[in-house]
Amino acid sequence: MEDFHAPRRLLLGPGPSAVHARVLQAISTPLVGHLDPTFLNVMNDVQAGLRHLFATMNRFTIAVSGTGSAGMEAAVVNIVEPGDAVIVGVNGVFGTRLAAIVERCGGKAIQIEVAWGQIIEPNMIAERLLQSGPVKAVALVHAETSTGAWQPIEPVSAICRKHNILLIVDAVTSLGGIPVEVDQWGIDVCYSATQKCLSCPPGLAPLTLNERALSAVKNRRTPCQSWYLDLSLIADYWTEHNRAYHHTAPISMLYALREALRVIEEEGLPSRFARHRLNSRALLAGLMAIGLDPLPSPDCRLPTLLCVTVPASIDEGAVRSQLLERFGIEIGGGLGPLKGKVWRIGLMGESSTEANVLTLLNALEEIGIQHGWVSTPGIALQAAAHTYSVGR
Protein backbone atom coordinates (compact mmCIF):
# COMPACT_ATOMS: atom_id res chain seq x y z
CA MET A 1 0.00 0.00 0.00
CA GLU A 2 1.39 3.39 -1.04
CA ASP A 3 1.63 6.51 1.10
CA PHE A 4 -1.54 8.57 1.15
CA HIS A 5 -1.30 12.29 0.44
CA ALA A 6 -4.56 14.16 0.91
CA PRO A 7 -5.28 16.84 -1.69
CA ARG A 8 -5.61 20.38 -0.45
CA ARG A 9 -9.27 21.34 -0.35
CA LEU A 10 -11.16 24.47 0.57
CA LEU A 11 -14.01 22.92 2.56
CA LEU A 12 -17.13 25.01 1.94
CA GLY A 13 -19.67 22.21 1.93
CA PRO A 14 -22.16 21.17 4.61
CA GLY A 15 -19.36 19.57 6.62
CA PRO A 16 -16.69 18.90 7.60
CA SER A 17 -15.24 22.38 7.92
CA ALA A 18 -11.60 23.44 7.95
CA VAL A 19 -9.67 22.48 11.09
CA HIS A 20 -7.45 24.94 12.96
CA ALA A 21 -3.73 24.10 12.87
CA ARG A 22 -3.64 23.98 16.67
CA VAL A 23 -6.39 21.37 16.68
CA LEU A 24 -4.50 19.22 14.15
CA GLN A 25 -1.44 19.49 16.36
CA ALA A 26 -3.41 18.57 19.46
CA ILE A 27 -4.76 15.40 17.87
CA SER A 28 -1.17 14.16 17.44
CA THR A 29 -0.42 14.48 21.17
CA PRO A 30 0.96 11.20 22.61
CA LEU A 31 -1.68 8.91 24.07
CA VAL A 32 -2.23 8.25 27.74
CA GLY A 33 -4.68 5.79 29.23
CA HIS A 34 -8.35 6.71 29.18
CA LEU A 35 -8.44 6.47 32.99
CA ASP A 36 -5.12 8.25 33.48
CA PRO A 37 -5.56 11.20 35.90
CA THR A 38 -4.06 13.50 33.28
CA PHE A 39 -6.66 12.47 30.73
CA LEU A 40 -9.47 12.81 33.25
CA ASN A 41 -8.44 16.44 33.61
CA VAL A 42 -8.77 16.78 29.82
CA MET A 43 -12.33 15.46 30.13
CA ASN A 44 -13.05 18.01 32.86
CA ASP A 45 -11.79 20.80 30.59
CA VAL A 46 -13.95 19.56 27.72
CA GLN A 47 -17.03 19.55 29.93
CA ALA A 48 -16.36 23.10 31.10
CA GLY A 49 -15.81 24.30 27.54
CA LEU A 50 -18.99 22.63 26.31
CA ARG A 51 -21.04 24.16 29.11
CA HIS A 52 -19.82 27.59 28.02
CA LEU A 53 -20.65 26.81 24.39
CA PHE A 54 -24.13 25.43 25.16
CA ALA A 55 -24.74 28.32 27.62
CA THR A 56 -25.74 25.88 30.33
CA MET A 57 -24.98 24.85 33.89
CA ASN A 58 -26.10 21.27 33.23
CA ARG A 59 -23.91 18.86 35.16
CA PHE A 60 -24.49 16.23 32.47
CA THR A 61 -22.65 17.83 29.57
CA ILE A 62 -20.38 15.43 27.69
CA ALA A 63 -18.96 14.48 24.31
CA VAL A 64 -20.48 11.25 23.00
CA SER A 65 -18.01 8.93 21.25
CA GLY A 66 -19.36 9.09 17.70
CA THR A 67 -20.46 11.57 15.05
CA GLY A 68 -23.46 13.88 15.19
CA SER A 69 -25.77 11.02 14.28
CA ALA A 70 -24.57 9.21 17.42
CA GLY A 71 -25.53 12.32 19.39
CA MET A 72 -28.97 12.26 17.77
CA GLU A 73 -29.41 8.59 18.54
CA ALA A 74 -28.20 8.98 22.14
CA ALA A 75 -30.65 11.84 22.69
CA VAL A 76 -33.61 9.87 21.37
CA VAL A 77 -33.00 6.30 22.56
CA ASN A 78 -32.47 7.43 26.16
CA ILE A 79 -35.68 9.47 26.31
CA VAL A 80 -38.07 7.47 24.14
CA GLU A 81 -39.52 4.13 25.25
CA PRO A 82 -41.93 1.80 23.46
CA GLY A 83 -45.32 3.47 23.20
CA ASP A 84 -44.07 7.03 23.81
CA ALA A 85 -45.40 9.68 21.45
CA VAL A 86 -42.97 12.33 20.19
CA ILE A 87 -43.86 15.31 18.02
CA VAL A 88 -41.13 15.69 15.39
CA GLY A 89 -40.68 18.68 13.12
CA VAL A 90 -39.88 17.43 9.63
CA ASN A 91 -38.62 20.03 7.16
CA GLY A 92 -35.55 18.28 5.81
CA VAL A 93 -33.31 15.23 6.02
CA PHE A 94 -32.50 15.42 9.70
CA GLY A 95 -36.04 15.90 10.95
CA THR A 96 -36.86 12.80 8.91
CA ARG A 97 -34.00 10.96 10.59
CA LEU A 98 -35.20 11.99 14.05
CA ALA A 99 -38.63 10.55 13.27
CA ALA A 100 -37.08 7.30 12.05
CA ILE A 101 -35.10 6.85 15.28
CA VAL A 102 -38.20 7.50 17.37
CA GLU A 103 -40.00 4.73 15.47
CA ARG A 104 -37.04 2.35 15.90
CA CYS A 105 -37.33 2.87 19.65
CA GLY A 106 -40.90 1.62 19.47
CA GLY A 107 -42.21 5.15 19.91
CA LYS A 108 -44.81 6.96 17.84
CA ALA A 109 -43.43 9.80 15.74
CA ILE A 110 -46.14 12.43 15.25
CA GLN A 111 -44.68 14.26 12.29
CA ILE A 112 -45.38 17.90 11.53
CA GLU A 113 -44.25 18.26 7.93
CA VAL A 114 -43.66 21.48 6.03
CA ALA A 115 -41.97 22.22 2.74
CA TRP A 116 -38.20 21.91 2.77
CA GLY A 117 -36.69 25.33 3.43
CA GLN A 118 -39.49 26.40 5.76
CA ILE A 119 -39.63 26.24 9.56
CA ILE A 120 -42.04 24.55 11.94
CA GLU A 121 -44.21 27.37 13.27
CA PRO A 122 -44.76 27.17 17.05
CA ASN A 123 -48.53 27.35 16.61
CA MET A 124 -48.37 24.13 14.56
CA ILE A 125 -46.94 22.34 17.59
CA ALA A 126 -49.47 23.90 19.95
CA GLU A 127 -52.33 22.81 17.69
CA ARG A 128 -50.99 19.27 17.32
CA LEU A 129 -50.65 18.91 21.09
CA LEU A 130 -54.34 19.76 21.46
CA GLN A 131 -55.25 17.11 18.89
CA SER A 132 -53.01 14.27 20.09
CA GLY A 133 -53.03 12.15 23.22
CA PRO A 134 -50.20 12.18 25.77
CA VAL A 135 -46.87 13.29 24.31
CA LYS A 136 -43.48 12.76 25.94
CA ALA A 137 -41.32 15.14 23.90
CA VAL A 138 -40.99 17.51 20.98
CA ALA A 139 -37.92 17.09 18.74
CA LEU A 140 -36.72 19.86 16.42
CA VAL A 141 -33.71 20.61 14.24
CA HIS A 142 -32.35 24.05 15.13
CA ALA A 143 -30.27 24.33 11.94
CA GLU A 144 -31.45 22.04 9.14
CA THR A 145 -28.32 21.16 7.19
CA SER A 146 -30.24 19.98 4.15
CA THR A 147 -32.05 23.30 3.60
CA GLY A 148 -30.29 26.10 5.49
CA ALA A 149 -33.40 26.80 7.57
CA TRP A 150 -32.99 28.33 11.06
CA GLN A 151 -35.69 27.05 13.43
CA PRO A 152 -36.88 29.27 16.34
CA ILE A 153 -36.59 27.33 19.60
CA GLU A 154 -37.58 29.56 22.52
CA PRO A 155 -41.31 29.90 21.60
CA VAL A 156 -41.54 26.11 21.29
CA SER A 157 -39.91 25.66 24.68
CA ALA A 158 -42.65 27.76 26.29
CA ILE A 159 -45.26 25.45 24.76
CA CYS A 160 -43.40 22.37 25.99
CA ARG A 161 -43.23 23.74 29.53
CA LYS A 162 -46.95 24.53 29.47
CA HIS A 163 -47.71 20.90 28.59
CA ASN A 164 -44.94 19.44 30.80
CA ILE A 165 -43.16 17.68 27.95
CA LEU A 166 -39.47 17.50 27.04
CA LEU A 167 -37.77 19.44 24.27
CA ILE A 168 -35.02 17.75 22.23
CA VAL A 169 -32.97 20.00 19.93
CA ASP A 170 -30.53 19.14 17.14
CA ALA A 171 -27.81 21.84 17.13
CA VAL A 172 -25.38 20.05 14.82
CA THR A 173 -24.97 22.93 12.34
CA SER A 174 -25.55 25.75 14.81
CA LEU A 175 -23.42 25.18 17.94
CA GLY A 176 -20.44 27.51 17.82
CA GLY A 177 -21.71 29.48 14.82
CA ILE A 178 -24.93 31.03 16.12
CA PRO A 179 -26.28 31.33 19.67
CA VAL A 180 -27.49 28.14 21.33
CA GLU A 181 -28.89 29.10 24.74
CA VAL A 182 -29.79 25.81 26.41
CA ASP A 183 -30.70 27.17 29.86
CA GLN A 184 -32.32 30.43 28.76
CA TRP A 185 -34.39 28.75 26.07
CA GLY A 186 -35.42 25.85 28.29
CA ILE A 187 -33.99 23.06 26.14
CA ASP A 188 -34.00 19.70 27.92
CA VAL A 189 -31.76 17.71 25.58
CA CYS A 190 -29.37 19.24 23.03
CA TYR A 191 -26.73 17.60 20.86
CA SER A 192 -24.28 18.69 18.20
CA ALA A 193 -21.18 17.52 16.30
CA THR A 194 -17.54 18.52 16.25
CA GLN A 195 -16.95 18.80 12.49
CA LYS A 196 -19.19 21.77 11.74
CA CYS A 197 -18.89 25.13 13.51
CA LEU A 198 -16.44 23.77 16.10
CA SER A 199 -13.90 23.08 13.31
CA CYS A 200 -12.73 19.85 14.87
CA PRO A 201 -12.48 16.53 12.98
CA PRO A 202 -15.65 14.40 12.94
CA GLY A 203 -15.90 11.80 15.68
CA LEU A 204 -17.49 13.36 18.77
CA ALA A 205 -21.00 14.60 19.52
CA PRO A 206 -21.40 17.23 22.27
CA LEU A 207 -24.50 16.46 24.32
CA THR A 208 -26.18 18.08 27.31
CA LEU A 209 -29.20 17.05 29.42
CA ASN A 210 -30.87 19.01 32.19
CA GLU A 211 -32.33 17.52 35.38
CA ARG A 212 -35.80 17.06 33.84
CA ALA A 213 -34.30 14.96 31.07
CA LEU A 214 -32.06 13.02 33.46
CA SER A 215 -35.12 12.20 35.55
CA ALA A 216 -36.77 10.71 32.45
CA VAL A 217 -33.64 8.63 31.82
CA LYS A 218 -33.47 7.47 35.44
CA ASN A 219 -37.17 6.54 35.65
CA ARG A 220 -37.43 4.54 32.43
CA ARG A 221 -39.77 1.56 32.48
CA THR A 222 -37.53 -0.38 30.11
CA PRO A 223 -33.76 -0.54 29.56
CA CYS A 224 -32.29 1.73 26.91
CA GLN A 225 -32.15 -0.21 23.66
CA SER A 226 -28.50 0.77 23.12
CA TRP A 227 -25.87 -0.37 25.61
CA TYR A 228 -23.14 1.76 24.03
CA LEU A 229 -25.25 4.95 24.13
CA ASP A 230 -26.98 4.25 27.47
CA LEU A 231 -26.46 7.56 29.28
CA SER A 232 -27.17 6.03 32.68
CA LEU A 233 -23.99 3.98 32.16
CA ILE A 234 -21.95 6.65 30.39
CA ALA A 235 -22.72 9.10 33.21
CA ASP A 236 -20.49 7.15 35.57
CA TYR A 237 -17.51 7.63 33.25
CA TRP A 238 -18.04 11.39 32.87
CA THR A 239 -18.74 12.07 36.56
CA GLU A 240 -15.84 14.12 37.89
CA HIS A 241 -15.26 11.91 40.93
CA ASN A 242 -14.84 8.12 41.06
CA ARG A 243 -15.07 7.63 37.31
CA ALA A 244 -16.08 4.12 36.26
CA TYR A 245 -15.00 2.41 33.05
CA HIS A 246 -17.63 2.23 30.32
CA HIS A 247 -15.74 2.18 27.02
CA THR A 248 -12.35 3.27 25.76
CA ALA A 249 -12.75 6.94 24.97
CA PRO A 250 -11.39 8.35 21.67
CA ILE A 251 -8.49 9.99 23.47
CA SER A 252 -6.98 11.83 20.51
CA MET A 253 -10.34 13.27 19.50
CA LEU A 254 -10.88 14.61 23.01
CA TYR A 255 -7.45 16.25 22.83
CA ALA A 256 -8.60 17.87 19.60
CA LEU A 257 -11.96 18.99 20.99
CA ARG A 258 -10.30 20.52 24.04
CA GLU A 259 -8.08 22.63 21.78
CA ALA A 260 -10.99 23.58 19.50
CA LEU A 261 -12.89 24.82 22.55
CA ARG A 262 -9.84 26.88 23.58
CA VAL A 263 -9.73 28.49 20.13
CA ILE A 264 -13.43 29.36 20.41
CA GLU A 265 -13.00 30.77 23.91
CA GLU A 266 -10.11 32.98 22.77
CA GLU A 267 -12.16 34.45 19.91
CA GLY A 268 -15.19 34.96 22.15
CA LEU A 269 -18.69 33.86 21.23
CA PRO A 270 -20.07 37.35 20.35
CA SER A 271 -17.18 37.96 17.94
CA ARG A 272 -17.51 34.48 16.51
CA PHE A 273 -21.23 34.89 15.86
CA ALA A 274 -20.66 38.31 14.27
CA ARG A 275 -17.98 36.84 11.97
CA HIS A 276 -20.37 34.16 10.75
CA ARG A 277 -23.13 36.72 10.13
CA LEU A 278 -20.92 39.10 8.15
CA ASN A 279 -19.34 36.45 5.94
CA SER A 280 -22.74 34.94 5.25
CA ARG A 281 -24.20 38.30 4.21
CA ALA A 282 -21.26 38.98 1.91
CA LEU A 283 -21.44 35.57 0.27
CA LEU A 284 -25.19 35.82 -0.19
CA ALA A 285 -24.86 39.25 -1.79
CA GLY A 286 -22.36 37.86 -4.26
CA LEU A 287 -24.43 34.77 -5.06
CA MET A 288 -27.61 36.79 -5.60
CA ALA A 289 -25.69 39.12 -7.94
CA ILE A 290 -25.15 36.17 -10.29
CA GLY A 291 -28.72 34.88 -10.06
CA LEU A 292 -28.54 32.39 -7.19
CA ASP A 293 -31.36 33.07 -4.74
CA PRO A 294 -31.58 31.60 -1.22
CA LEU A 295 -34.10 28.86 -0.50
CA PRO A 296 -35.19 29.88 3.05
CA SER A 297 -36.91 33.22 3.61
CA PRO A 298 -34.89 36.06 5.23
CA ASP A 299 -36.39 35.51 8.69
CA CYS A 300 -35.23 31.88 8.90
CA ARG A 301 -31.95 31.84 6.99
CA LEU A 302 -28.85 30.30 8.57
CA PRO A 303 -25.56 32.22 8.48
CA THR A 304 -23.60 28.98 8.95
CA LEU A 305 -24.96 27.20 5.87
CA LEU A 306 -26.41 28.90 2.80
CA CYS A 307 -28.78 26.94 0.60
CA VAL A 308 -29.29 28.62 -2.78
CA THR A 309 -31.46 27.55 -5.69
CA VAL A 310 -29.70 26.83 -8.97
CA PRO A 311 -31.49 27.82 -12.21
CA ALA A 312 -32.43 24.87 -14.43
CA SER A 313 -30.18 26.30 -17.15
CA ILE A 314 -27.09 25.57 -15.01
CA ASP A 315 -25.72 22.04 -14.70
CA GLU A 316 -25.22 22.26 -10.94
CA GLY A 317 -23.38 18.94 -10.68
CA ALA A 318 -20.93 19.91 -13.42
CA VAL A 319 -20.21 23.23 -11.70
CA ARG A 320 -19.51 21.49 -8.39
CA SER A 321 -17.16 19.11 -10.18
CA GLN A 322 -15.31 22.01 -11.81
CA LEU A 323 -15.01 23.79 -8.48
CA LEU A 324 -13.43 20.68 -6.97
CA GLU A 325 -11.19 19.67 -9.88
CA ARG A 326 -10.03 23.11 -11.07
CA PHE A 327 -10.08 25.14 -7.87
CA GLY A 328 -9.97 22.58 -5.06
CA ILE A 329 -13.21 23.96 -3.58
CA GLU A 330 -15.91 21.71 -2.14
CA ILE A 331 -19.55 22.79 -1.92
CA GLY A 332 -22.56 20.52 -1.41
CA GLY A 333 -25.45 19.57 -3.65
CA GLY A 334 -29.07 19.04 -2.68
CA LEU A 335 -30.54 16.03 -0.91
CA GLY A 336 -33.90 14.33 -1.33
CA PRO A 337 -36.40 16.49 -3.24
CA LEU A 338 -33.75 19.23 -3.56
CA LYS A 339 -31.27 16.99 -5.39
CA GLY A 340 -30.03 18.77 -8.51
CA LYS A 341 -31.84 21.98 -7.55
CA VAL A 342 -29.70 23.68 -4.88
CA TRP A 343 -26.18 24.23 -3.65
CA ARG A 344 -25.40 24.03 0.05
CA ILE A 345 -22.45 26.22 1.01
CA GLY A 346 -21.03 25.98 4.51
CA LEU A 347 -19.35 28.91 6.21
CA MET A 348 -18.66 27.22 9.51
CA GLY A 349 -15.91 27.81 12.04
CA GLU A 350 -12.50 28.11 10.41
CA SER A 351 -14.11 27.97 6.96
CA SER A 352 -15.98 31.21 7.60
CA THR A 353 -13.51 33.84 6.37
CA GLU A 354 -13.56 36.78 3.99
CA ALA A 355 -10.80 35.19 1.92
CA ASN A 356 -12.85 32.03 1.44
CA VAL A 357 -15.95 33.99 0.44
CA LEU A 358 -14.05 35.94 -2.20
CA THR A 359 -12.20 32.86 -3.44
CA LEU A 360 -15.45 30.96 -4.01
CA LEU A 361 -17.19 33.88 -5.70
CA ASN A 362 -14.20 34.43 -8.00
CA ALA A 363 -14.25 30.75 -9.02
CA LEU A 364 -18.00 30.77 -9.62
CA GLU A 365 -17.69 33.92 -11.73
CA GLU A 366 -14.96 32.34 -13.85
CA ILE A 367 -17.02 29.20 -14.44
CA GLY A 368 -20.16 31.25 -15.08
CA ILE A 369 -18.45 33.47 -17.65
CA GLN A 370 -17.05 30.40 -19.40
CA HIS A 371 -20.50 28.80 -19.66
CA GLY A 372 -22.50 31.95 -20.28
CA TRP A 373 -24.54 32.35 -17.11
CA VAL A 374 -22.45 35.27 -15.78
CA SER A 375 -22.31 38.23 -18.15
CA THR A 376 -20.67 40.92 -16.02
CA PRO A 377 -17.16 40.08 -14.72
CA GLY A 378 -16.62 41.09 -11.11
CA ILE A 379 -20.29 41.59 -10.26
CA ALA A 380 -20.33 39.00 -7.46
CA LEU A 381 -17.04 40.16 -5.98
CA GLN A 382 -18.20 43.79 -6.03
CA ALA A 383 -21.42 42.89 -4.21
CA ALA A 384 -19.50 41.01 -1.54
CA ALA A 385 -16.91 43.78 -1.17
CA HIS A 386 -19.67 46.35 -0.69
CA THR A 387 -21.20 44.20 2.05
CA TYR A 388 -17.88 44.02 3.84
CA SER A 389 -17.28 47.75 3.51
CA VAL A 390 -20.59 48.70 5.14
CA GLY A 391 -20.87 45.77 7.53
CA ARG A 392 -17.77 46.13 9.69
Q: Give the pLDDT confidence of 222-247 residue by residue, as tens digits.
A: 999 999 999 999 988 888 777 788 89
Q: What is the model's pLDDT at position 85?
A: 97
pTM: 0.96
Of the residues 212, 232, 266, the one at which a domain ends: 266
Specify whether 222 is located in the same domain as 320: no
pLDDT class of 119 with cuts at 50, 70, 90: very high
Specify whether 117 is located in the same domain as 214: yes
Specify whether 94 is located in the same domain as 241: yes
**CATH number of domain containing 67:** 3.40.640.10
pLDDT class of 168 with cuts at 50, 70, 90: very high
Instruction: Look at residue 6 and tell me if it is in a domain.
Output: no
pLDDT class of 116 with cuts at 50, 70, 90: very high
Q: Do residues 85 and 133 make contact, with C-beta atoms less than 8 angstroms apart? A: yes
Specify whether 186 is located in the same domain as 39: yes
Q: Please state, for a pLDDT cut of 70, what percent of the chain lies above it.
A: 100
Q: Mean pLDDT throughout 7-21?
A: 96
Instruction: Look at residue 196 and tell me if it is in a domain.
Output: yes
Q: What is the model's pLDDT at position 97?
A: 97
Tell me which of 23-32, 46-55, 115-124, 238-247 is least confident: 238-247
Instruction: Look at residue 176 and tell me if it is in a domain.
Output: yes
Specify whether 259 is located in the same domain as 276: no
Instruction: Look at residue 296 and tell me if it is in a domain.
Output: yes
Q: How many domains are there within the chain?
A: 2
Instruction: Look at residue 304 and tell me if it is in a domain.
Output: yes
Specify whether 154 is located in the same domain as 165: yes
Give the closest residue to 79 by CA, choosing from 167, 143, 142: 167
Instruction: Look at residue 34 and tell me if it is in a domain.
Output: yes
Specify whether 278 is located in the same domain as 374: yes
For residue 34, pLDDT over 90 is answered with no
Specify whether 359 is located in the same domain as 237: no
Specify whether 236 is located in the same domain as 215: yes
pLDDT class of 177 with cuts at 50, 70, 90: very high
Domain of 340?
A: 268-391
